[in-house]
Amino acid sequence: MDARLNYVTGPTAPKALKYVMAAGKELREMPLPAATQELVALRVSQINGCAACIDMHTKEAAAAGETSVRLSLVAVWREATVFTEAERAALELAEEGTRVADAAGGVDDEVWARAARHYDEEQLTALVMLVSFMNMANRLNIITQQPAGNYQPGQFH
């Protein structure tokens, strides 16, 4: 599969993407546990069907020590017993934040309250920004049909 656009070449894409990449770097440095960041990024990408991001975040999580069992169960986290209550709250918020068109009210107050029991204001800010960032990154990749399979951990860091 060939991508519709090459984001590395041309005069426009590299200029804009340097800011996108800088935002991604800042997000990684926010006070949200790295494992939670990768699980959330993976779940948002699964919902949106972004092959390139699923490839990236599965490999990044594995390289950081995440188990194959937990990675395999992210898609069915509600029924899985391998996630902490905090991770479950983050995944639930990520799902509702990604499916805003499906849930007319956006993120439900109860979902927000569950997340707020586990994360302070700075962490909630990081979580909301990560969900929003991943939805944007997914769309950049899906629209242009960016291929998956060749990502190497640390490639964009």
Mean pLDDT check: name the lowest of 50-54, 78-82, 87-91, 150-154: 150-154
**pLDDT of 103-157, one tens digit each?**
667 899 999 999 999 999 999 999 999 999 999 999 999 999 999 989 899 887 7
Q: What is the pLDDT of residue 62?
A: 96
Q: How far apart are CA 87 and CA 33, in angstroms?
A: 10
- Is the distance from CB of 75 to CB of 81 less than 8 angstroms? no
Which residues, at least 6 apart from 136, have a Cβ–Cβ distance to it below 8 Å? 20
Q: How far apart are CA 38 and CA 104, in angstroms?
A: 27
Average pLDDT over residues 96-101: 92
**pLDDT of 63-86, one tens digit each?**
999 999 999 999 999 999 999 999
For residue 29, the SS3 value is coil
Tokens coding 128: 């909301």
Q: How far apart are CA 97 and CA 91, in angstroms?
A: 10
